Structure 1
Amino acid sequence: MKNVEIYTTMFCPFCSRAKKLLNSKGVDYKEIDVTVAGDLREEMTRRAGGAYTVPQVFVDGEHVGDSDYLHSLDANGKLDKILGVS
C-alpha cells in the first residue's frame, strides 16, 4: 500500500470529509495536525507548493491536493489508482 499523509487541523469540516473518503477506501494514512504547530504548517505549505489551507494530501511524497481535489479525483475514477486500491 502507498504511504498517505494528510495535514489537518482540529474542527475542520474539509479535513473530516477528506479523512472520511480515505477511510471509505480502506486507506491507512498518517495524520499530521497543524492546528498549533507553526513549523508543521510551514512544512506543509512548502511541500504543497505554497498551498496553505487544510487538508493537504500527499501520496508517496507527491502532493495530491486538498479535499475538493481529492473528491474530484474520486468522482472521475482516478483516486483509486493514485491510492493504489482497487
Structure 2
Amino acid sequence: MEANEAITLEELRTEMRSVCQSKAEEFHLLGYEHVTADEIWDCVASRYKNAVPALHQLVNDILSLKATVFMNWMTMRIYRGEFE
C-alpha cells in the first residue's frame, strides 16, 4: 500500500488481527477465557467511530487495553442489547 492511499478501519482489522489475538491471549491468562480477537478489535475500534487513527496509536490502544475497560465495554453492549 502506498503512503498516500487511505486505509479503512476494516482494512486495519485485518492488519491488526495478530495484535488483537495477542491481547486476547493475555486476557485468557488473566482468567477471561472467552475473549476473542474480534471483541478486542471491536472494543478498541469503537473509540474511533469512522475516523482512522494513526497506526502507532491503534497498536498502543490495543496493547494497553485494560481488562476492566474491556469488561465495562462488554457490559454496556449487553445493556444496549448489542451482544450476539
Do the two structures share a fold, i.e. TM-score over 0.5?
no
Shorter-normalised TM-score: what interval? 0.3 to 0.5
TM-score normalised per structure 2: 0.33
Structure with bigger strand share is 1
